[in-house]
Amino acid sequence: MNNINKIGHNPCSSCGVCVISCPHKAVLLKQDENGFYRPIVNNDICTDCGICTKVCYKYLKEKNPFENAFKDKSIYAAWSKDITTVKTSSSGGVGYELTSYFYHAGYKICGVIFDAPNNICKHIIAESDENLEAIKTSKYLQSYTVEAFSQFKKGEKYLVVGTPCQIYGLRKWSKLKKLEDDFILVDFFCHGTPTHNLWKKYKEFLCEKYNLNSSFKYVNFRSNQKSTWHKNAMLISDCYEKEYYKDKAFVSDLFFQFFMSHSCLNDACYSCQLRLDNCAADIRIADFWGSKYANNENGVSLVITNTKRGELIWREIEHLLTVENCNFKDLETSQNGRFIEKNQQQRNVILKELREDKSLIQIYNQHIKNKLSVSVLLLLRKIEIKILSHINSNR
Ligand SMILES: Cc1cc2nc3c(=O)[nH]c(=O)nc-3n(C[C@H](O)[C@H](O)[C@H](O)COP(=O)(O)OP(=O)(O)OC[C@H]3O[C@@H](n4cnc5c(N)ncnc54)[C@H](O)[C@@H]3O)c2cc1C
């Protein structure tokens, strides 16, 4: 067997690039019973040509754990000079400035919208300023890529924003197709993506508890308009404009409680090789969390120019932004560590219960509530150790 069913070093990341790479259209991407996109190979059509394995994250070998892709790269803090852009973006609006600038320079922009009628996140090729607005902000679910990625055509120029694994697949694919120069690739520091079954149950919960209609019209996981950057809110409105609004969503909203507890992320997210050790993008963006901008309540993006091309692109757009030079230490204090803690047993139970009849609040009360307090204790312990080692090193 020489297709993506071959066992690899890593689990499937659900990026969907194998589907577009198959010359025989033998691969489909479908959600499995646990709510993760997985490729399905039609063995009657597959010729075992192996092209899908050449673009696949599964075969990326583990790197030296002490190596770091960003150590020698240029690192910036940045936010748009246009305050409306900052307030309507996730952090500092660098994502929007990149997409908007290159859209008006003739590039096709490929980014993620929340497709409310189908209740999924998906990549689209933006065709208007309205599409660019819809692409703004992070949607904390794995996007469906296949529809948009299948539209890539030779002779066009593209800027694509995606998770590190989606961008890794596209880098490999564009190299294979000799189209690398036509693609500007942007990714972000990625916490991981949870199962779609969580989203489905969360929706049921909102409809029941807050009396929302199940037909959602608008979903914003990072609403800063009525809130502030650090107190980020979840804002959802249904087809009758009835709103659900939760301030400090990272700690108070049920979807985020599951997301932040790492209890039901995609398998590949826990040991992601693309978090700190590998990056296939020209530019990486992120929230500049941590102490450096703790008092900034509008929003600050962290930017890393990962390739020479990324640096040139950055120079083209930096006049649209307020930019401060930073260093690797700033990056380290802003971002989570290398891997995400995985409690396999608990994850299995939660994934099972998300498939079954139990309500989200029941699952939360049984498995997440107490776990969060354990995580908080562990975090406090880590902070204590850091402070103690800092004091010791200064003695
Ligand atoms: C699933 C996910 C996890 C993240 N985890 C972290 C993290 O751990 N630490 C951190 O600092 N930052 C993380 N981010 C990035 C962060 O939320 C912001 O996107 C980043 O700060 C840039 O903000 P911005 O204001 O410049 O642009 P934004 O306005 O946020 O633009 C974001 C860009 O990301 C694209 N995008 C949105 N949702 C998705 C998606 N589901 N899949 C692929 N592309 C998408 C959009 O097309 C848009 O172009 C994550 C983002 C996502 C989507």
Ligand 1 within 6 A of 280 CB?
Answer: no
Check: CB of residue 202 under 8 Å from CB of residue 195: no
Cα 372 to ligand 1 centre (Å): 24
Residue 390: what pLDDT?
55
Structure token digits, residue 138:
């992070």
Mean local confidence (pLDDT), 40-44:
96
Going by C-beta distance under 8 Å and a sequence separation of 6 or more, which residues neighbour residue 330? 75, 77, 290, 292
Residue 227: pLDDT band (50, 70, 90) is confident
Q: Which ligand 1 atom is at minimum distance from the Cα of 336? A: 8
Which of 14, 37, 90 gets mutated to test ligand 1 (max ligand atoms within 8 A of its CB)? 90
Mean local confidence (pLDDT), 232-250:
95
Cα 310 to ligand 1 centre (Å): 18
Residue 357: what pLDDT?
92
User: Percent of the chain at pLDDT above 90?
Assistant: 84
pLDDT at 343 over 70: yes
Nearest Cα to Cα of residue 194 among 263, 245, 251, 274? 263
pLDDT at 393 over 60: no
Ligand 1 within 6 A of 13 CB?
Answer: no
Secondary structure class of 27 (helix, strand, coil): strand
pLDDT tens profile 100-128: 999 999 999 999 999 998 999 999 999 99
pLDDT tens profile 84-106: 999 999 999 999 999 999 999 99
Among 10-24, 206-220, 338-352, 368-382, name the one with the lowest average pLDDT. 368-382
Residue 386: pLDDT band (50, 70, 90) is low
User: How far apart are the C-alpha atoms of 278 and 272, rounded to whole Å?
Assistant: 9
Cα 277 to ligand 1 centre (Å): 19
Mean local confidence (pLDDT), 364-372:
84
Q: Please, what is the Cα angle at 155 between 150 and 159, to 5 degrees?
A: 65
Ligand 1 within 6 A of 112 CB?
Answer: yes
Ligand 1 within 6 A of 88 CB?
Answer: no
Ligand 1 within 6 A of 285 CB?
Answer: yes
One-character DSSP codes across 279-326: ---SEEEEE--SSTTTT--S--EEEEE-SHHHHHHHHHHGGGEEEEEE
Cα 10 to ligand 1 centre (Å): 23
pTM given for the model: 0.94
User: How far apart are the C-alpha atoms of 145 and 14, rounded to whole Å?
Assistant: 9
User: Percent of the chain at pLDDT above 70?
Assistant: 92
Structure token digits, residue 134:
């819809």
More confident residue, 206 or 277: 206
pLDDT at 36 over 90: yes
